[in-house]
Amino acid sequence: MRNELIIAALIAFFISIVLGPVILPILRKIKAGQTEREDGPESHLKKTGTPTMGAFIYLISGFLVCAFKIKSYPDMIPTLLLTFGFMLIGFLDDFIKVVLKRSLGLRAWQKFSLQIVFALAYALYIKVNSPELFDMVIPFTQKTVNFGWLSIPAVIFIIVGTVNGSNFTDGVDGLETSVTSALLAFFIFASIGVSESVGMISSIFLGALLGFLMFNVNKAKVFMGDTGSLALGALVCGLAFSLKLPLYLPVIALIYFAEVLSVIMQVLYFKATKGKRIFKMTPIHHHFELSGWSEPKVVAVFATVTLVLGAFVLLFI
C-alpha cells in the first residue's frame, strides 16, 4: 500500500508539472489576469495581471489520477463530488470576475447560497449512504458524538466555515498551497489502518499540489483563484468527515479558521468602535505582511504551524 501511495503521488506531481506550461498560455490568452485589491498591501499591486484559475493544473491532475483509482477505492467518490461541486462555485466566480470582467463576480448571497446547496447535498448523501459518519470524534478523546437531527445543519456549518477559511487563506504566493499540503500530509498519516481511500486521495492531491507549487511559489507565475481555494477547502472537509474527524478541523486547520475569524473580528470591531481596527489588515496574513514579514516567511510559519498541529493531533487519534 505504501508504494502504491507514493507512486500515485509521484504520477500526480509529474502530471501537474506537465500541465503547467500547457495551461498557463491558455489563461494568458483568455486574459484571466488577477486584479489586486486597491485596499490591499501596496506590494501586491505589482501582481495585477498574473494569471488566475491556475488551480486547474492540480485539479485536472488530481481528478485524473483518482479516476484511475476509483474502481479500487470507491469510497473516494463522495469526497471527490464535494470537491468538484465547490470547484464549480469557485470557477463560476472567477470566470465572471476575470474573463467577463465583472469585478464583483458572484454576489455574496449567491456564492453563500450555492455553498449551502452543495454542502446540503453532501450531508444528505452521508445520511442515506454512510450515516455512521455523523458520529464525530470528540477532540482529544476516544468518544464520538452524534448531533441527531442537528447533524445535517452541523455538516453544512462545518463545510461552509472551512471552505471560506480556505478561501481567505489564498492571498499570499504559495500560502494556500503549502498549508493545504500540510493538511493532506496529516490525513495520509491519520488514515493508516483506518481508510485506504482517504490515504489514496490525500496522496494524489498532495502530489498534484506540490507540482502546482512549482508555479505558485513566490514570485508566483499563476494563482489558483477561488476555483482552487474553494475546492481545497471542500477536499479537506470530505477527508475529515471520512475519518470522522471534522471536530478536529479548528485545530489541524487552525490557519483556515484564524484567517476567517480575523476578518469577522475586524469587521465587528470596526463597526462597534466606529472606525478602529484590531489588525493592521485582514485576512490575518496581511497583518503579518504589514508588520514586516516577507511573503515567504508568512508561508513558512503558517505551513509549519499546520504541520506541528497535525503531528500533535496524531498523538490522540
DSSP for 17-48 reads HHHHHHHHHHHHHTT-B----TTS-GGGGGGT
Write down the pLDDT at residue 237: 98
Chunked into runs of 10 residues, the chain (317 residues) has average pLDDT values of 94 97 90 58 60 94 97 95 97 87 80 96 95 96 94 97 96 94 97 96 98 92 93 98 98 96 94 90 93 94 97 95
Residue 145 DSSP class = E
| Cβ-proximal residues to 71 (8 Å cutoff; 6+ apart), any chain | none
Would you tell me how many other CB atoms lie within 10 Å of the CB of residue 131?
11
Write down the pLDDT at residue 132: 95
Helix, strand counts (H, E) of the chain: 12, 2
CB 9 within 8 A of CB 206: yes
The three three-digit cell numbers of residue 78, written as one number:
463522495
Closest to 222 (Cα-Cα) out of 19, 12, 86, 10 = 19
CA–CA dist 36, 25 (Å, integer): 21
CB 116 within 8 A of CB 160: yes
Write down the pLDDT at residue 87: 97
Q: CA angle, 166 as apex, 160 and 169 as ends, to 5°?
A: 140
Q: What is the pLDDT of residues 134-172, one digit of tens each?
A: 999 999 998 999 999 999 999 999 999 999 999 999 989
CB 210 within 8 A of CB 181: yes
Q: What is the pLDDT of residues 220-275, one digit of tens each?
A: 889 999 999 999 999 999 999 999 999 999 999 999 999 999 999 999 999 999 88
Write down the pLDDT at residue 43: 52
Q: Is the pTM of this model over 0.75?
A: yes
Read off φ and ψ for residue 167, nearest 5 degrees.
Answer: -60, -45
Write down the pLDDT at residue 115: 97
Write down the pLDDT at residue 33: 64
CA–CA dist 109, 122 (Å, integer): 20
Q: For residues 211-233, b (16+ Cβ closer than 10 Å) or e, as one string?
A: bbbebbbeebebbbbbbbbbbbb
Would you tell me how many other CB atoms lie within 10 Å of the CB of residue 259?
27
